[in-house]
Structure 1
Amino acid sequence: MRQRPAWLGMKGLSGLLAGALLLLALLLQPGIGQAPPRRLTLVHFNDFYRIEGVEGRAKGGIARLGGLLERLRGQGPALALFGGDLLSPSLMSREFGGAQMIEGLNAVGLDAATFGNHEFDSRDGGVLLARLKESRFPWVSSNVRGADGSPFPGVAPRMVREAGGVRVGILAATLPAVRRPYVRYLPVLDSARQEAETLRRAGAELVIALTHLGMEEDLDLARRLPGVDLILGGHEHDAQLGRAGAALVLKADSDLRTAWVVEATVPAQGRPEFHARLVPLGMGIPQPPALRALEEKWLARLAERLGPDEPVARSEVALDGRESTLRFREGNLGNLVADAFREEGRCEISAVNGGAIRVDELLPPGALSRHQVAEILLFRNRVVRLRVPGSALAAALDHSAAQRGSGGFLQISGMRVAFDPGAPAGRRLRGAEAGGGPLRADRLYTLCTLDFLAEGGDGYAMWA
């Protein structure tokens, strides 16, 4: 027997309609019916060379990084990300090939790292390959490949990591500053765009570019890649914050003097939001005993390798080897090194890039130890003697003005220079004297400099 259809009376229909309208109203209210925003913490640092810290071990060091991460991870999901320059240069890395840095970052549980230019200081690539094999954390690089065009072992062009219920996509890019036969660089912008699109298709809700580029290149990347939410950079050694397009750009001070702590809020719809604070890693940061012991272990190994750190020279004045001086203006340690090049090489003039001087300390008056002297010029460069026309010298000085704030800024001897770093390229040099008189474009000058610069390093192609 066929059942009769059930009909709702007006009273029942009114009740059903009222319920539906109430549900619709609730769904239309902000936040109702939508997943709540998710939150996670990002910790970013870059250009980390000394596992034991700097400034008399009062700042930085792997133990303080571990203490910061331990505290933040106890409060909620947190990812630790590194923006390149790890394996070189430091006195300890010169002796041990950066093995101590990998052991330290393994111990603190790094979540991702990318290459800096100093990862390629090794001429044959053996050091890099050994350290990659020892790493228990992922390396990411979207634009660096081996000589055959394939990624280095253990290095991915992108990665996706879930944290706090958020699918975090990471791509990475490194400036093509160091040319080695075992390294091939892909175009930064093209490779980053391709990986950003791939990450979005893979469902990444927050896309981070982990970079080791100049700040202007980072800002250009942010303007051209709307699919990137956050750029965590390196290469510059002083803390920076910028914004271009929709992306925030952050860089910390070198050697873990500071780290950026970024609170990310990711809504169900729309772009992520960020609250960033620069955290000093000084005396107030706890140091887990096991990590402090790791620092001590490597310091003991260095002392055993090099022998006693005995006095070998004296200075009547403090010698300023700080990067905050030598990468921005004339410094007396830079003068001393450049003077030594000029006098020993019997040249009219000399120039050394500030980035070649690695002690990064204000050395007090008095005795200088063997280890301090070794750390002033860590790289195994040679001093070479060139004959360069004044026109090439003027171009180099103009380029140096543009490098203010980076390792390419020159410390000089036998010259007097006035420049405007904010002027356009080719117009930064306001005046120069060399060889006892005004700089002449048509005259040849004898110049003593490092082979690195003579081969075009740091952009000094005019000398190559």
Structure 2
Amino acid sequence: MVSSNINLINEPKLAENTNLVTSLVITKGDRKIGIVGYIRPDTKERTQPSNVIFKQEVPAINKETKKLRDQGIDIIIALGHSGYEKDMEIAKRCPDVDIVVGGQSHTFLYSGKAPSKEVSEGPYPTIVVKPDGRKVPVVQAYAYTKYLGNLSLEFDSGGNLLSFKGSPILLDNRFQPRRDVQDFLQLYRQVIDDMERHVVGTTSVYLNGDRKSCGYSECNFGNFIADSFVYARVVQTMADRSSWTDASIGLINAGAIRASIDPGETGAITEADVVTVLPFSQDLYYTRISGSQLMKALEHSAQMRSKHMTSAHLQVSGLRLKFNHSLPKGERITEIRALCSECQIPHYEAVDTNGYYGVVVTSFLLNGGEGYSFVDPKRPEVENMTILDRMAVIQYLQEHKVIYPEREDRQYVQQKHIANSGYMSLEPNLILSFLYFCHRFLV
């Protein structure tokens, strides 16, 4: 495992692991090839808390490749998990890197007609030209081991790239699986088969869990999953008849939603489908936080969305928000209303910064994932609901039988405008009428 841009000084057990290194040198024929790893620095916020220090990719890679060059290594591959855009930046800004093999963004690259339904986001390889004119191939091979990356390169004796060719290979039924792998999988096949046969509900609509949809705006699958969190708490608190629930708000970050569900011919949703969507098996937690803290969390979601941090954007239940992403950081939410909990008939009310609100979140968010804070520093009140996120979804599906979640303007994005400009905001038709009046009667 290679990663040049992490510091393990505060994680001694990881630091002692000899299989975790900054770079590796392999030998092919009579040539030595260096492989330098990298990972996106915001992994700190995207994973469960740890003391690992993450550094910026480019300077860390350049520091490591210099060491390899000093050892006489003249062919260097950067292998990483930071996304297609960062891969291309590394190809351009890291002078010693000859090839970039990337991941994380699940980018499908292909030259010519694609062999399956994926739409190519660029040629394979994508060629980036360094400031000195050298060409660097950048490749990714989508996701889910659907394709095998395949790139052939020719170098001269000085480590200069002469030629390259290749194309991802679709791993379809033309390929015979290895017997030993099949035998190993067979040990667990029954469990998977049972999950694939176990129908837990039915959908009459497409459940959109696409990262680009859920990561930038409200998506119907995100709505449904967050609703299932609230429902799980309602079921748990049924014995307390003082209110319909103590947590009317449910939140999940877009990065936790890993797939969509197509209704197909029958609309059947299996347990295996739900596990594919929510593979991390996170515990759900009830937490009680102030209105002020809730507003800060939602502003953080707006800020991350504006930074194109698609995994951090929150999908919500029990909230109605209005955003204006042209406004300054910390001021992008123009309206927040929350579903009341201590009321006989649930309805939406403006969030009171001094009030307190019960919220259901995943363990990832509760523990500070994506930079969020959902534990009240003054009056911490947290309870493990002892139910996994996917089990909450399954429970909701089983008890509601057929679902058809919609987009409901839970997160309404307002039109951009010039803030504090001093000008009146006029409707376009009114402006046209005014201009016509000036031309007709004043000219």
What band does the TM-score fall into relative to the shorter chain?
Answer: 0.5 to 0.7
d(CA) in 2 for partners of 1:167 and 1:278? 24
Per-residue Cα deviation, 1:104-129 (whole angstroms, up to 9, x for no partner): xxxxxxxxxxxxxxxxxxxxxxxxxx
- Match in the other structure for 2:269: 368
- Match in the other structure for 1:392: 296
**Alpha-carbon spacing, 1:400–1:235, altered in 2? closer, same or farther (3 Å):** same
Larger radius of gyration, structure 1 or 2? 1
Residue pair 1:352, 1:450 contacting (<8 A) in 2 also = yes
**Alpha-carbon spacing, 1:338–1:209, altered in 2? closer, same or farther (3 Å):** same
Which of residues 168, 186, 193 is equivalent to 1:279? 168
* Count of residue correspondences: 322
Is 1:267 paired with 2:135?
A: no
Residue pair 1:321, 1:362 contacting (<8 A) in 2 also = no
**Alpha-carbon spacing, 1:368–1:262, altered in 2? closer, same or farther (3 Å):** same
Per-residue Cα deviation, 1:89-144 (whole angstroms, up to 9, x for no partner): xxxxxxxxxxxxxxxxxxxxxxxxxxxxxxxxxxxxxxxxxxxxxxxxxx333336
Residue pair 1:392, 1:463 contacting (<8 A) in 2 also = no
d(CA) in 1 for partners of 2:295 and 2:171? 47
- Match in the other structure for 2:257: 357
d(CA) in 2 for partners of 1:428 and 1:302? 51
| Aligned-partner residue type, residue 360 of structure 2 | C
Residue pair 1:212, 1:235 contacting (<8 A) in 2 also = yes
d(CA) in 2 for partners of 1:251 and 1:424? 36
Counting only pairs closer than 5 Å after superposition, residues 190-201 of structure 1 correspond to structure 2 as 191-201=60-70
d(CA) in 2 for partners of 1:361 and 1:314? 11
d(CA) in 2 for partners of 1:461 and 1:219? 33
| Aligned-partner residue type, residue 352 of structure 1 | I
**Alpha-carbon spacing, 1:257–1:274, altered in 2? closer, same or farther (3 Å):** farther
Counting only pairs closer than 5 Å after superposition, residues 260-339 of structure 1 correspond to structure 2 as 260-269=149-158, 271-272=160-161, 275=164, 279=168, 281=170, 283=172, 286-290=174-178, 294-295=181-182, 297-298=184-185, 301-304=188-191, 307=194, 309-323=197-211, 325-327=213-215, 329-339=217-227
Which of residues 1, 4, 12 is equivalent to 1:147? 12
**Alpha-carbon spacing, 1:449–1:197, altered in 2? closer, same or farther (3 Å):** same
Per-residue Cα deviation, 1:258-291 (whole angstroms, up to 9, x for no partner): 45433433234574366566526254x6212426
Instruction: Name the SS for the 1:168 alignment partner.
Output: strand
Instruction: Name the SS for the 1:264 alignment partner.
Output: strand
Is 1:161 paired with 2:26?
A: yes
Is 1:426 paired with 2:326?
A: no
| Structure 2: runs of 5+ lacking an equivalent | 109-120, 234-244, 339-347, 377-443
- Give the CA deviation at 1:449: 1.7
d(CA) in 2 for partners of 1:294 and 1:336? 37
Per-residue Cα deviation, 1:377-423 (whole angstroms, up to 9, x for no partner): 332322223324254034223134146574333222233456577x6
- Match in the other structure for 2:145: 256
**Alpha-carbon spacing, 1:187–1:305, altered in 2? closer, same or farther (3 Å):** same
d(CA) in 1 for partners of 2:350 and 2:24? 55
Per-residue Cα deviation, 1:219-246 (whole angstroms, up to 9, x for no partner): 5545553222333222223336674856
- Match in the other structure for 2:236: none
Instruction: Name the SS for the 1:449 alignment partner.
Output: strand
- Match in the other structure for 1:114: none
- TM-score when scaled to structure 1? 0.57
Is 1:208 paired with 2:77?
A: yes
| Aligned-partner residue type, residue 203 of structure 2 | S
- Give the CA deviation at 1:326: 3.8
- TM-score when scaled to structure 2? 0.59
d(CA) in 1 for partners of 2:373 and 2:104? 20
Residue pair 2:203, 2:268 contacting (<8 A) in 1 also = yes
Is 1:460 paired with 2:372?
A: yes
- Match in the other structure for 1:234: 103
| Structure 1: runs of 5+ lacking an equivalent | 1-138
Residue pair 2:304, 2:310 contacting (<8 A) in 1 also = no
Which of residues 163, 187, 208 is equivalent to 2:55? 187
**Alpha-carbon spacing, 1:374–1:212, altered in 2? closer, same or farther (3 Å):** closer
d(CA) in 2 for partners of 1:295 and 1:417? 49
- Match in the other structure for 2:361: 449
